Amino acid sequence: MKVLVTGGARSGKSSFAERYAATLAPEGLYVATAHAYDEEMKARIGLHRQEREERGFSWTTAEAPYALAETLRQADAPVVLVDCLTLWLSNWLLRFEGHSARDRLLEGKIGELVEAFRELERPVVLVTNEVGSGLVPENKLGRLFRDLSGRMNQRLAREADQVFLVTAGIAVELKSREFRL
């Protein structure tokens, strides 16, 4: 079972993804992609860990701010949850900032992720943000991030068995409702 969970910031997608993953297996691997660049982010990460522990599901945590495709390929758990893809993409975008082949390199990283997702033979739940529903970003880097995120989400949604949109804490499965021409 390959699942993509998307939605806006603070929509409830992470807690939904965790609850959903817990229905797929008795324990799992939680792949965290965040970098703790400052104290506020360290506190957020600590709060997320505490909340996972309080829910009672047995998670092993792996940190993968960059090596996400490799982490997925090496995962040896009954279910894998990745939170979140847009943070992972941001990490690479910042790492490649100023590189002359940045766009090509980023597309390559997304391709590696899509391939790893496609190949995985265990349940996996990916959490991402739906960033294209807002205003057009005012700068080139913001527009690039929005465009890459949108293309990444589309490619992963094509590979997923289920795609959920979470808004105001309510999850709606979209893929089964897809209108096809």
Q: Which CATH number, 3.40.1280.10, 3.40.50.720, 3.40.50.300, 3.30.160.250, labels domain 2-176?
A: 3.40.50.300
7 among annotated binding-site residues: yes
pLDDT score recorded for residue 50: 81
Give backbone dihedrals phi and psi of 145, rounded to 5 degrees, phi first. Answer: -60, -45
Question: pLDDT of 5-37, one tens digit each?
Answer: 999 988 999 999 999 999 999 999 999 998 877
**CA atoms of 83 and 74, how far apart (whole Å):** 17
**Tokens coding 136:** 């057009």
11 among annotated binding-site residues: yes
End-to-end CA distance of the chain: 25
The pTM assigned to this predicted structure is 0.93
13 among annotated binding-site residues: yes
Question: pLDDT of 120-160, one tens digit each?
Answer: 999 999 999 998 777 788 888 888 999 999 999 999 999 99
71 among annotated binding-site residues: no
Specify whether 99 is catalytic: no
* Given the residues 3, 17, 48, 72, the one annotated as active site: 48
